[in-house]
Amino acid sequence: MGKLDGKIAIITGAAQGMGAAHARRFITEGAKVVLTDVNERGGQALADELGQNARFIKHDVTSLDEWQALVADVEGSWGPIHILVNNAGILGPIADVVSIDPAEYLKVIDINQNSQVWGMKAVIPSMQKAGGGSIVNISSTAGMVVVAGAPSLAYVGSKFASRGMTKQVAVQFGKDNIRVNSVHPGFIKTPMMELATDSDGGGIADAVPLHRMAEPDEVSSLVLFLASDDSSYISGMEHVIDGALTALGAS
């Protein structure tokens, strides 16, 4: 028996990296999974690989209209939604409050922060129909501590916001048996991290007490736990997965 048997899940940013790893794990554990992304080719290829319990829907996470259409589509095809993993995100510019371009700032906030608001807004009524659910908002260690060596106002601001919104929504909707948690990964081997450094992490792994970057599937183990009934009394909390990096006081 799988940990997610009978569950309907939406995972955003699922065409690659951590989102793809989450999708694979959820399918293995018995869920029906809707993968969303703006990367149509990658998302559809993964859905085809995962089989009949996976669907890809091209989806702009910054659009509330598209969120509402997505939820209506999923409910019409498979029924009410039990799990939402708000995984989509971008790094954005390395810029402080004085130098940042307003348009670039708003783009990061739109994708990293507002998309999670619209996702929760659209999905919670469906979870209420289902009798409960689990929302996992992917934040970052940059939502726990500032990025000391690389000022990134937009990224840090959006990731701290994710953490705070998670707590607020968890308190409001606990009465509906809806749990909301945030996950705060450190250095993970993903395409986004490769763009920021190189395929080996640019030596940044040496700064981690465990002396390595994490594989995406290691984060998926935590996300699966929070999505499943194994975490039935855990809500409104941040869950750091960073090899003890933030124990040093900075990310």
Q: Which residues are catalytic?
A: 155
Instruction: Find, among 169, 179, 85, the residue nearest to 132 by Cα.
Output: 179
Question: Could you count the other beta carbons within 10 Å of the beta carbon of residue 110?
Answer: 17
- Determine the distance from the C-alpha atom of residue 144 to the mean position of all C-alpha atoms in its chain, rounded to a whole number: 16
Q: Residue 185: beta bridge partners?
A: 241
Question: Could you count the other beta carbons within 10 Å of the beta carbon of residue 236?
Answer: 16
The Cα 204–Cα 40 span in angstroms is: 31
Identify the sign of the CA torsion 162, 113, 243, 208: negative
DSSP, res 214 = B
Residue 16, CA distances (Å) to 72, 158, 194, 247 in order: 25, 21, 12, 29
Go through the chain and tell me how many residues it has.
251
- Determine the distance from the C-alpha atom of residue 206 to the mean position of all C-alpha atoms in its chain, rounded to a whole number: 26
